Amino acid sequence: MKKSILLILTLLCFGLSSKAQAIAEGIPYQGVVRDASGLPLANALVTLRVTLGSVEKSNSATFYSEIHEAQTNEQGFFQLVIGEGKDAKGALSEVPWSTSQIWAEVALQTSALPSYRVLSHSRLLSVPYAMHSGTASNLTKAENQEEKNQSIYWTTGGNSLTEPATHFLGTQDNQDLVFKTNNTPRVKITKEGQMEVFSGVDGADDNINSYPMTVEGSQQGIYIKVNGSRDGDHNFVNFGDDKAFTWGEIEGQTIAELEADWEYQLQVALYTLQGVALGASIVAWAAAAVGAFASGLNALTGAAIIVDLAGLAVDLANLLQESITWGIKIREEIGVTYSSGAADYAEWLQRAAEIRDVYAGEIVGVTGGLVSLNTQNADHLFVVSSNPLALGNKPAAEDQRQYEKIAFMGQVRTRVLGPVSVGDYILPSGNNDGFAIAVHPDDMKPGDYAHIIGVSWGNGLPNVPYNLVNVAVGINANDLSREVVALEKKVEAIMAYLKGQSASVTGEAGSVTAGQFVTTAPKVEGGKLFTDEEFDQILDVNSDMLNELFAQTKARLIEMGNNPEDHPRLMAFLDNPVPVLKEIRRDPRFFNQWVQIDHNTQANQKK
């Protein structure tokens, strides 16, 4: 009687083994072979045919099949790996796990069963997920960009199978990319590339967990680079809130913008003009040149010129070195501009003991570096700042309650009792209550000047308990000096009257003019003494001398360690000075300087 063999296959494990995150090309398959009596078929060699296919709507398809020879143990147990058989038909990697329901058919062949007998036909439920992950060797196929499942290599354990063409996380269909936590959008990268961060954190400013973004783990912080140039039209940082897009910004400045700035150009030209004049020495040349011009353009002797040039070149090089040093310094200091609606510079100053907190706009006295409401005999009088542009001397966070923001310079909102108009002096109320009063300049008394806090730049409202107006502080240093000059004139008038030199004290005192200067430079009457065309001829007649002088000056500057390539404009001037001198002669910004040079030239000519 033919012995029947029953194959009982128990799927113990469908999964993928992995090593170093490399996906194995196979499915571990385990089972037990029993005979017709239900006893294990021990130590037997069996042949198994495994077929993977699908059956949908009465249509069947075979995707892969292979043959295995398996050896059972004493319990009839065997194991194999689908994908490692022989006589394979198809490719295991091409089984469409993601698009079809895959069924596994197992057929047995033994010495007692010469033909294959189908023993099981079951749908694979868990294996496709693992096997499909093994087929996703690329997030997209590099050769045709056909999109596939993108879950395999973005794993919590890290990624190793990466290719430059396909190793990315994002979108390809012109849509934003959104990251969520707790099902709430937190980060969005728009399809244009803008990054938006949405955070639900909140809290005190001294708590790191209150900030939506932190950057740590390095000795450096955040580096911000803008496209193109760092000119004033490009903001590195912008500050805003719900009420306004911009309350302040940090914007850049370039060397080109610096050199285009009229103040910079003016300073450079002034240094150049100093080099042209070089005090009395170069003016003396001009005198000699004028003399030669007036006497028929007779040139100076070559020997005399060379002797003079050696010393003058050293003097001129030293002077131009100052210009170079200034130019280097201002370039080194170029950077960014902090722009804000705030208008004062302030510092944290400690509050005196047993003094209540003071508030923005209140008047305080500072004695020995301590702030109090007592303004009597205080060393300095200040206003408490509300929103300073710059705030220095910051104390430790735990000590800030003992400190106040005190405005040192700029515009600060100030509490003023009673009426106030533009130009009024702002003084303490005298009641140590934090308020100020406004006094018109004509109503100031001598003792008031020592108590000036600032000058009002705003008009108050009538019939209100107090006004809050902008006051300019830290810039009224000349106010007391005007009163001192007036008092000095009165004293002089009194002394003259007592000596019988004047009939009226009041008349002398009343002659004081506000802003009158006591010490002045000699006044130069008239304009330029030479027309620009005459001066051109002076330069042309003496061009050889000037070219030699500036050539020696350039050589001297190089000896002093200056690289001509670092200062191309200055070196171009030294190489060909006459055209530059003619240009500067006609620059209206330097009219007064040329008047001085012309008059000094005339004075030297007369000596």
pLDDT of residue 424: 94
Between β-strands 436-439 and 403-417, what pairing exists: parallel, antiparallel or unpaired?
A: parallel
Q: Is residue 25 part of a domain?
A: yes
Based on the fold, state whether residues 437 and 496 are members of the same structural domain. Answer: no
Can you give the CATH number for the domain in which 85 is found?
A: 2.60.40
For 298, which DSSP code? P
- If asked whether residues 42 and 104 sit together in one domain, one would say yes
Q: Which two tokens stand for residue 568?
A: 């191309």
Token pair for 463: 């019939």
219 and 313 share a domain?
no
128 contact partners, CB below 8 Å, separation of at least 6: 97, 98, 102
Kindly state the tokens that stand for 35. 């005979």
Computed from CA positions of residues 233, 236, 238, 239, in that sequence, does the dihedral angle turn out positive or negative?
A: negative
Number of separate domains in the chain: 5
| pLDDT computed for residue 440 by the predictor | 92
- 316 in the same domain as 284: yes
Residue at 369: amino acid letter: G
Judge whether 516 lies within some domain: no
Is 114 within the bounds of a domain?
Answer: yes
Residues 6+ apart with CB under 8 A from 129: 97
What pLDDT shows up at residue 517? 36
Question: Across the strands, what pairs with 367?
Answer: 370
Quick one: residue 340, left, alpha or beta (phi over 0 = left, psi -120 to 50 = alpha)?
beta
Q: Is residue 200 domain-shared with residue 102, that is, in the same domain?
A: no
Instruction: Say whether both 463 and 499 belong to one domain.
Output: no
Chunked in runs of 10, what are the mean pLDDT values of the chain (607 residues)?
48 41 65 81 89 82 92 89 88 83 85 78 67 48 45 56 69 88 89 86 83 83 73 68 67 54 46 46 46 38 43 65 57 56 79 86 93 90 86 82 91 89 92 90 81 91 80 69 62 70 47 40 65 83 80 83 72 80 75 68 56
Q: Residue 112 domain-assigned?
A: yes
Asked if 504 and 562 sit in the same domain, the reply is no
Last residue of a domain, one of 82, 109, 135: 135
Does residue 148 belong to any structural domain of this protein? Answer: no
Concatenate the DSSP letters of all residues of 231-261 into one string.
-TT-EEEEE--SS-S-SEEEEE--HHHHHHS
Distance from C-alpha of 262 to C-alpha of 383, rounded to nearest angstrom: 35
10 Å Cβ neighbour count for 490?
16
Q: 86 and 18 in one domain?
A: yes
On whether both 285 and 349 belong to a single domain, the answer is no
Q: Taking the C-alpha atoms of 65, 70, 76 and 77 in order, what is their torsion angle to the nearest 10 degrees?
A: -70
Please name the residues in contact with 152: beta carbons below 8 A apart, sequence gap of 6 or more.
Answer: 23, 133, 136, 139
Q: Which amino acid makes up residue 150?
A: Q
Question: According to the model, what pLDDT value does residue 202 have?
Answer: 87
Name the 3-class secondary structure at 556: helix
Q: What is the CATH number of the domain that holds 463?
A: 2.40.300.10
Q: Is residue 119 part of a domain?
A: yes
Residue 482 CA to residue 24 CA, distance in Å, equals 94
Q: Are residues 324 and 355 in the same domain?
A: no
Q: For residue 428, what are the CA distances in angstroms to 54, 114, 431, 475?
A: 95, 117, 8, 17
In this structure, the answer to whether residues 471 and 383 fall within a common structural domain is yes
Tokens 């089972």, residue located: 31
Residue 549 has a pLDDT of 79
Written as six digits, the tokens of 418 are: 């009673």
Domain edge (last residue) among 113, 135, 157: 135
In a domain, 568, yes or no: yes
Indicate whether 46 and 118 sit together in one domain.
yes
Side-chain half-sphere exposure of 59, counting CA atoms within 13 A: 4
Name, in order, each residue with C-beta under 8 angstroms of 496's C-beta and a sequence gap of 6 or more: 502, 508
Strand, coil or helix: 250: strand
Query: What sign for the dihedral angle of Cα 223, 224, 227, 230?
Result: negative
Give yes or no for a contact between 90 and 64, defined as CB atoms under 8 angstroms apart: yes
For residue 489, what are the contacts with CB-CB under 8 A and spacing of at least 6? 508, 509, 511, 512
Bridge-partner residues for 188, per DSSP? 178, 196
Sole residue written with tokens 């069947």: 60
- Domain membership of residue 176 as a residue range: 170-223
Residue 230: inside a domain, yes or no? Answer: no
Residue 557 burial (CB < 10 Å; 0-12/13-18/19+)? buried
